[in-house]
C-alpha cells in the first residue's frame, strides 16, 4: 500500500466513524426494535460511496482493499450489524460482475451499483437447498433472446428493497457434474419476479429477508453474467472467500461491541459494596472476552491481507469466519451474564447483540462447513 492509499483509507474510515456516530448510533435501537428499513441511513451510505466500496475506481467505486473494507464492516457491525447487510451482499453481486462479466455488462451495471442507484444482493438459497447449492431447482430455458426463469428463492437479503439480484439458476438440469449446469443471472424486478413473503427473524432486523418467486420470468440473454452458461457455480464459489471474510468482520464487530458494553456496565454496577469489575469472576470473563475479540480481529486481518495479496485463502477465510463468528456469539452471551437481569431487558443493547450473533454462524457457509473446509485444505496443503 502506498502512503497516498493509506491516507485515502484513513479519510474514508474517519468518514465512516462520523457517519456511525451521527447517523446510525442514535437511531439503531429504535429502528431495530421496530424492524424498520433504515431509509435515511441508506441515503447517507450512498453519499459516502459505501455501495461502491470494493468496486474499482474505473467504474465509480472506491476500490478499497479487502483489509480496509473488513475494517469498515467491523466498525459498522459494532454499532448495528444489519446495516452491513444492506451493502455486503450488494457488493458480492457487484464483484461477480466485475470479475466475470463481459465488458458491456461491466460498463452497463457497475457505475449504477457503485452509486447505489441500483442496489441488490445474491439469491442462491432455496427452500430445499442451502449448504448443498448444487441441488437448486430454479430453472431457466432459452427462448429467443431471453431465458425463462421458474423457481423459488428464500432468505434473500435485500429481496424486497433491492432493485436487482444475482440469481443462481440451473440452465442444464441434467448436467454432470451438477455444477456445470448452473448459471448466474442479473434479474431486475419486473414481470414474473415477485416477493412472496417477508421472513420474520430472531434478529438482523431492519434489513429485509424475503422469499422470492420467479414465474415464467423472461430475462434478457445479455443478463447472463459472463455470457456463457454453466459458469455460475464457480463464480459464486470465487466470491465466497470475500463473503466469509466480511461475515467474520461482522463477528469481530459484535464481539467488540459486547465487550465494550460489559466493560462499561461492570464499572457502574455495584454489588457487595464495590463495582462488579472488582470481582474476580467478572474479571475472568472480561479477560476472556477481550482476548477472543482481539484474536478474532487478527484472524480476519490475516485472511484479508492474504486475499489482497491475491493468494488462495479459503482456509484462512474459513478460520476467520469460524472463530470470529463464534467469538461474537460467546461474547454476546458473556455480556448478557455480566449485565445480570438488565442484559435480558430490551432497554440495553446486549439483547440485540445476542439476537444478531447466531446468524453469523449460519450465513456464507455454516460453521460446520467451515471446519470441513479447513480440514480439507490442511490435508491438501500437507500431503504425506
Ligand atoms: C437472516 C438470513 C439471511 C440470509 N441471506 C441470504 C442471502 O442474501 N442470499 C442467500 O442466497 N442465502 C441467504 N441466507 C441463507 C443461508 O445462506 C443458508 O441458510 C445457509 O447457507 C444454510 O443453508 P440451510 O439453511 O438450507 O441449511 P442446511 O444446508 O439445510 O443445513 C442444516 C444443517 O446441516 C449442516 N450440514 C449441511 N450439510 C453438511 C455437510 N456436508 N456436513 C456437515 N454438516 C452439514 C449445516 O451445517 C446445518 O447445521 C440467509 C439466511 C438467513 C438466516
Q: Ligand 1 centre from 104 Cα, in Å?
A: 33
> What predicted TM-score, i.e. pTM, was given to this entire model?
0.95
Q: Is 184 close to ligand 1, i.e. is its CB under 6 Å away?
A: no
Q: Ligand 1 centre from 132 Cα, in Å?
A: 8
pLDDT in tens, 256-274: 999 999 999 999 999 999 9
Q: Ligand 1 centre from 288 Cα, in Å?
A: 29
Q: Is 364 a catalytic residue?
A: yes
pLDDT in tens, 328-376: 999 999 999 999 999 999 999 999 999 999 999 999 999 999 999 999 9
What string of DSSP letters covers 49-114?
TGGGTTS-GGGTS----HHHHHHHHHHHHHHHHHHHHHHHHHHHHHHHHHHHS-HHHHHHHHHHHH
Q: Is 124 close to ligand 1, i.e. is its CB under 6 Å away?
A: yes
Percent of the chain residues past pLDDT 70, beyond the cut: 99
E-strand spans in the chain? 120-123, 139-143, 146-157, 164-170, 182-188, 193-198, 209-220, 270-271, 274-275
Q: Is 370 close to ligand 1, i.e. is its CB under 6 Å away?
A: no
State residue 5's pLDDT score. Answer: 75
Q: Of all atoms in ligand 1, which is nearest to the CA of residue 364?
A: 17
Q: Is 209 close to ligand 1, i.e. is its CB under 6 Å away?
A: yes
Q: Ligand 1 centre from 362 Cα, in Å?
A: 6
Grade residue 7 by pLDDT with cuts at 50, 70 and 90.
Answer: confident
Amino acid at each position: 500500500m502506498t502512503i497516498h492509499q493509506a491516507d485515502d483509507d484513513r479519510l474514508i474510515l474517519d468518514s465512516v466513524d462520523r457517519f456511525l456516530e451521527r447517523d446510525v448510533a442514535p437511531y439503531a435501537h429504535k429502528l431495530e426494535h421496530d424492524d424498520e428499513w433504515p431509509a435515511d441511513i441508506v441515503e447517507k451510505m450512498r453519499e459516502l460511496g459505501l455501495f461502491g466500496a470494493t468496486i474499482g475506481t474505473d467504474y465509480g467505486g472506491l476500490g478499497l482493499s479487502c483489509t480496509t473494507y473488513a475494517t469498515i464492516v467491523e466498525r459498522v457491525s459494532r454499532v448495528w450489524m444489519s446495516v452491513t447487510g444492506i451493502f455486503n451482499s450488494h457488493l458480492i453481486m457487484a464483484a461477480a460482475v466485475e470479475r466475470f462479466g463481459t465488458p458491456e455488462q461491466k460498463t452497463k451495471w457497475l457505475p449504477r451499483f457503485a452509486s447505489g442507484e441500483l442496489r441488490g444482493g445474491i439469491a442462491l438459497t432455496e427452500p430445499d437447498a442451502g449448504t448443498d447449492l448444487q441441488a437448486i431447482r430454479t430453472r431457466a430455458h432459452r427462448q429467443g433472446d431471453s431465458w425463462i426463469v421458474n423457481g423459488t428463492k428464500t432468505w434473500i437479503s435485500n429481496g424486497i428493497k433491492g432493485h436487482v439480484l444475482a440469481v443462481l439458476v440451473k440452465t442444464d438440469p441434467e448436467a454432470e457434474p451438477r455444477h456445470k449446469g448452473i448459471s448466474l443471472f442479473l434479474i431486475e424486478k419486473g414481470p414474473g419476479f415477485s416477493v412472496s413473503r417477508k421472513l420474520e427473524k430472531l434478529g438482523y432486523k431492519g434489513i429485509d429477508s424475503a422469499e422470492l418467486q420467479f414465474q415464467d420470468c423472461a430475462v434478457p440473454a445479455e443478463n447472463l453474467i459472463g455470457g456463457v452458461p454453466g459458469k455460475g457455480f464457480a463464480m459464486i464459489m470465487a466470491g465466497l472467500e470475500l463473503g466469509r471474510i466480511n461475515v467474520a468482520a461482522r463477528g469481530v464487530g459484535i464481539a467488540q461491541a459486547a465487550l465494550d458494553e460489559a466493560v462499561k456496565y461492570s464499572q457502574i454496577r455495584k454489588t457487595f459494596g464495590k463495582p462488579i469489575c472488582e470481582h474476580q469472576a467478572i474479571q475472568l470473563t472480561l479477560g476472556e472476552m477481550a482476548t477472543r475479540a482481539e484474536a478474532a480481529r487478527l484472524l480476519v486481518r490475516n485472511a484479508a491481507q492474504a486475499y489482497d495479496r491475491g493468494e488462495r485463502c479459503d482456509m484462512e477465510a474459513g478460520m476467520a469466519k469460524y472463530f470470529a463468528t463464534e467469538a461474537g456469539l460467546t461474547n454476546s452471551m458473556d455480556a448478557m451474564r455480566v449485565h445480570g437481569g438488565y442484559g435480558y431487558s430490551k432497554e440495553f443493547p446486549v439483547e440485540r447483540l445476542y439476537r444478531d450473533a447466531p446468524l453469523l454462524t449460519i450465513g456464507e457457509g455454516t460453521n460446520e462447513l467451515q471446519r470441513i473446509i479447513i480440514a480439507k485444505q490442511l490435508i491438501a496443503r500437507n500431503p504425506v
